[in-house]
Amino acid sequence: MLEYIVAALLPFGLQLLFNRVLFTKYLPLGITVVILIFGFDGLNQPLPLQVVAIISTFIGFLVGLKIYNKQKRKVS
């Protein structure tokens, strides 16, 4: 059960963190995917765990785009 909670929160948190730090659209997504695949051996995890991580990453990406657009309007 703990691994599902981590799989749901970690990609979301990484997306938001990297989006706030890097101020780009797609680089946080790439960094998060690389960390999940290589750092946490994501391709060898059970399929339901991978699905939870993918959904969490996608939601984090959408929220990150909102943050990016909000920051872009403040700077311009």
Per-residue pLDDT for the chain (76 aa), expressed as one digit of tens each? 999 999 999 999 999 999 888 888 899 999 999 999 999 888 899 999 999 999 999 999 999 999 888 888 877 6
pLDDT for the residue 38: 94
Which of 44, 59, 50, 51 lies closest to 13, judged by CA? Answer: 59
16 contact partners, CB below 8 Å, separation of at least 6: 60, 63, 64, 67
pLDDT for the residue 76: 62
